[in-house]
């Protein structure tokens, strides 16, 4: 699992690199476009995802100590928090469509920074979209694990599936830990504006 | 697979630290630190990620092989980012004596590219 996560680090790493390069080229557009994002929703989702990492850690702990019922409950809680995250993300995306901040023929952005701002929003959708895809995959994996735990397949001697799906979930959390400041918090202080 | 079982208090403590980190990074984002805003935000994010990896993902209690793998991932990520950024960030620098005048060498602005053709370029070859 760790090996897979290493490939994932560089998968997302490429996007982070693209983000950094364009940010160096278009700092003003980055500042203006990032201020369009809802910082309250972003911070809320960060808290939700960190909370889901906590419940996931407890799910693994319950599996380690042989508490099958508790494992199921903690995984279901983790899934619920994941769902909250995705629902908030849905409303954020919806708002982008309404404001024509989705790159494409309908894209609209006031001021001379419209071109680079479109690049910003392309990266925004690519990075958060890829992250959300990982969340949906994680959600499905957790559903399977919860079912297996419900069927009492795990024991303190063998709980590997719980452990590695936990690793995956925490990894997705880590990606968001970096996406949040990079996409939402960049230049809030008005350094470039 | 007999893993290390952390006490619940460890997880609560890490969770609290992560939430405090989130609050700090949001608060600091609104303070103008000039060019330090970005390093501070990334520094907090790296700290948070480290906490998650060490305690939630049990890397602290894992084998040396696992630790090596985690290190490898971030080492190569660092190689990717550092080598590319040293190129891009140094393109605006005057890299040789008698370089292309005040506008800077290789800066991608319309005035620089337009002006470079007209300006005398003793040092260029």
- Give chain B positions within 8 Å (CB) of A190: 32
Is residue A138 in some structural domain?
yes
Residues of chain B with pLDDT under 50: 1, 99, 101-108, 111-125
Residue from B14, B16, B26, B109 whose CB has the most chain A CBs within 10 Å, to mutate: B26
DSSP B60: G
Rounded distance between C-alpha atoms, residue A168 and residue A98, angstroms: 33
What does the alpha-carbon distance between residue A184 and residue A32 come to, in Å, rounded to a whole number?
11
Confidence at residue B87, expressed as pLDDT on a 0 to 100 scale: 84
Is A190 part of a structural domain of the chain? no
Distance, in Å, from the CA atom of A162 to the CA atom of B51, rounded to the nearest integer, reads 20
pLDDT of amino acid B91: 74
The residue behind tokens 């630290």 is B17
pLDDT at B105: 45
Is A175 inside a domain boundary? yes
pLDDT in tens, A83-132: 999 999 999 999 999 999 999 888 988 888 888 999 999 999 999 999 99
Tokens 């690519």 — which residue? A126
Tally of domains in chain A: 1
Calculate the CA dihedral of residues B41, B46, B47, B50 and round it to 10 degrees.
160
Which domain CATH number covers A148?
A: 1.20.120.80
Question: What confidence score (pLDDT) does residue A113 get?
Answer: 86
Q: Is B34 helix (H, G, I), strand (E, B) or coil?
A: helix
Evaluate whether residue A193 is within a structural domain.
no
CA of B120 vs chain A CAs: smallest distance (Å): 26
Gap from B97 CA to chain A (nearest CA, Å): 25
Q: In this predicted structure, what is the pLDDT of residue A148?
A: 95
pLDDT tens-digit map of A131-158: 999 999 999 999 999 999 999 999 999 9
Residue A147 placed within a domain: yes
A61/B11 Cβ within 8 A? yes
**A1 pLDDT higher than 90:** no
Min Cα distance B33 → chain A (Å) is: 8
Which of A157, A185, A186, A187 would best serve as a mutation to test chain B binding (most B beta carbons within 10 A)?
A185
Q: Locate A54 and state its tokens.
A: 């906590």
Q: Tell me if chain B has a CB within 8 Å of the CB of A187.
A: yes
The residue among A189 and A7 whose pLDDT is bigger is: A7
Q: Work out the mean pLDDT of chain A and round it to a whole number.
A: 92
CA distance A90 to A10: 26
**What mean pLDDT comes out for the span A61-85?**
95
Interface of A with B in 36-65 (CB under 8 A): 39, 43, 46-47, 50-51, 53-54, 56-58, 61, 64-65
Q: Do B73 and A173 touch (CB under 8 A)?
A: no
Q: Give the one of B18, B26, B34 whose C-beta lies nearest to A191's C-beta.
A: B34
Interior/surface letters A155-179, b for 16+ CB within 10 angstroms, e for the rest:
eeeebebbbbbbbbbbbbbbbbbbb
Per-domain residue ranges of chain B: 8-93+106-116
> Bigger pLDDT: A59 or B97?
A59
Q: Which domain holds residue A82?
A: 2-185
Give Cβ neighbours of residue A175 (< 8 Å, ≥ 6 apart). A12, A131, A134
Percent residues over pLDDT 90 in chain A: 79
């Amino acid at each position: 699992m760790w090996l897979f996560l290493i490939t994932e680090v560089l998968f997302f790493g490429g996007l982070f690199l693209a983000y950094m390069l364009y940010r160096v080229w278009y700092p003003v557009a980055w500042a203006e476009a990032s201020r369009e994002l809802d910082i309250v929703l972003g911070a809320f989702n960060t808290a939700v995802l960190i909370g889901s990492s906590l419940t996931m850690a407890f799910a693994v702990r319950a599996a380690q100590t042989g508490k099958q019922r508790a494992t199921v409950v903690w995984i279901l809680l983790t899934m619920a928090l994941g769902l909250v995250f995705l629902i908030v993300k849905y409303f954020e995306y919806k708002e982008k469509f309404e404001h024509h901040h989705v790159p494409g023929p309908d894209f609209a952005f006031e001021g001379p920074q419209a071109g680079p701002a479109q690049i910003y929003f392309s990266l925004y959708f690519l990075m958060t979209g890829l992250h959300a895809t990982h969340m949906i995959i994680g959600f499905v994996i957790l559903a399977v694990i919860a079912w297996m735990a419900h069927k009492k397949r795990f024991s303190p001697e063998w709980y590997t599936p719980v452990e590695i799906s936990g690793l995956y979930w925490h990894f997705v959390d880590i990606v968001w830990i970096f996406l949040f400041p990079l996409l939402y918090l960049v230049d809030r202080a008005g350094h470039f504006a | 697979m007999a893993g290390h079982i952390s006490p619940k208090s460890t997880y609560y403590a890490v969770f609290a630290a992560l939430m405090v980190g989130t609050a700090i990074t949001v608060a600091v984002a609104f303070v103008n630190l000039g060019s330090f805003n970005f390093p501070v935000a990334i520094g907090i994010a790296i700290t948070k990620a480290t906490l998650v990896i060490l305690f939630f993902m049990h890397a602290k209690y894992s084998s040396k092989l696992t630790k090596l793998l985690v290190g490898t991932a971030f080492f190569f990520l660092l190689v990717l980012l550092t080598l590319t950024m040293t190129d891009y960030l140094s393109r605006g620098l005057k890299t040789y004596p008698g370089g292309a005048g005040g506008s800077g060498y290789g800066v991608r602005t319309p005035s620089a590219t337009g002006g470079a053709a007209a300006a005398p370029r003793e040092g260029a070859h």
